[in-house]
């Protein structure tokens, strides 16, 4: 199973916000710290905000913050929200169209359903808090990207 870049960025944004609460970070700061596109992160942050995972604060001291405690944000929940299609093979689709000649006798679909369920079960056992238990180390690593951007501006 392969997750989209969108899901990767969503998890990275949430991790960043979990370890950087004050002052509130900006999308530009997060993008610089990870070395990713600010424009891509804008869309991710917008969707995370609509879903209630992130809050945006406008103004001079504004920025981003988590909309819920890290312990209350499950990884499986995030992946289900950010992945448009968890269907591993075309016959998983609910369209009802029989796209494979062996569908009536196929055991592969059942095996893949179980594999996907196991994958999601593992993700469901983790929260954002689990991902940032090494907060000081993450904070130090992510601050380097922001510092590098500041040096480039000078």
99 within domain boundaries: no
- Per-residue pLDDT 10s for the chain (154 aa) are 789 999 999 999 999 999 998 889 999 999 999 999 999 999 999 999 999 999 999 988 889 999 999 999 999 999 999 998 887 777 776 655 557 788 778 888 889 889 999 999 999 999 999 999 998 899 888 875 555 455 444 4
* Nearest-angstrom CA–CA distance, 81 and 109: 23
65 pairs with which residues across the strands? 55
100 within domain boundaries: no
107 within domain boundaries: no
Model pTM score: 0.84
Structural domain harbouring 133: 5-85+127-153
115 within domain boundaries: no
Which CATH number belongs to the domain containing residue 25 in this structure?
1.10.10.10
* Number of domains within the chain: 1
Q: Which residues, in sequence order, are CB contacts of 129 under 8 Å at separation 6+?
A: 18, 69, 70, 71, 73
Let me know the angle formed at the C-alpha of 64 by 60 and 65, rounded to the nearest 5 degrees: 125
11 within domain boundaries: yes
Q: Which residues, in sequence order, are CB contacts of 52 under 8 Å at separation 6+?
A: 67, 68
């Amino acid at each position: 199973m392969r997750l989209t870049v969108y899901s990767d960025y969503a998890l990275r944004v949430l991790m960043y916000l979990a370890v950087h609460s004050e002052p509130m970070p900006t999308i530009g700061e997060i993008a610089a710290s990870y070395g990713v596109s600010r424009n891509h992160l804008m869309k991710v942050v917008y969707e995370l905000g609509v879903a209630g995972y992130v809050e945006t604060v406008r103004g001079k001291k504004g920025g981003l913050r988590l909309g819920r405690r890290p312990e209350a944000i499950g990884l499986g929940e995030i992946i289900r929200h950010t992945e448009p299609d968890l269907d591993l093979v075309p016959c998983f689709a609910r369209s009802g169209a029989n796209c494979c000649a062996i569908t009536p006798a196929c055991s592969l679909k059942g095996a893949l359903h179980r594999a996907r369920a196991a994958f999601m079960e593992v993700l469901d056992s983790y929260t954002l808090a689990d991902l940032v238990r090494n907060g000081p180390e993450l904070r130090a690593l992510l601050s380097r990207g922001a510092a590098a951007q500041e040096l480039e501006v000078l």
